[in-house]
Structure 1
Amino acid sequence: MEDEALLDERSLSKLRWRCRRGLLENDLLIERFFETHAASLTVGQARGLGELMDLADNDLLDLLLRRKDLEADAALETRKVLELLRLPQAVLPGI
């Protein structure tokens, strides 16, 4: 299935560029995600990450810090990627 195929290097590079954010906190969490998951990132996960990148910086940060949750109709792949991106609150105290 195409969604389960690994992302090729060119697509991964484009995705990394698209994930650059205006808030340092978002950039730090996203960079941690890429350090951990880049080698195993699938096409479906990349699509889910792309949907998250459509959000405004503050909305994305609220999701990453569990201040709010995704809309009920969000795609399953988007939900799964969000869980991979999220850190326990204790890792970023004071945010």
Structure 2
Amino acid sequence: MLVTKLKIDGQYFYLVPETDVDALKSAIVAAVKSGSAFVEFATHGHGRVSVLMTPYIPARFEIVERTEEEVAGWADEPPSFEYDPDSFLT
């Protein structure tokens, strides 16, 4: 299944399927244009997250393939927000 992954300031967030990605992108752009503002969104396994967006914090959206079993497991063991440099070596 396809899952939207959002990277903000080095942290990855897997967005819940009902996320309106276009609206979230617009909210991020509006926050940056205003100088800074909090933007809130729902994530797999971590609930709602609110991040302070400024012109100096990059945001990147990716569409990634994950198995349904992997996504279902996020309820018990949510994906980490932390950057893991070793994950790129495997």
Higher relative contact order (CA 8 A, sep 6+): 2
Q: Taking structure 2 as the reference length, what is the TM-score of the superposition?
A: 0.28
Q: Taking structure 1 as the reference length, what is the TM-score of the superposition?
A: 0.27
Structure whose CA Rg is larger: 2
- Give the structure with the higher percent strand: 2
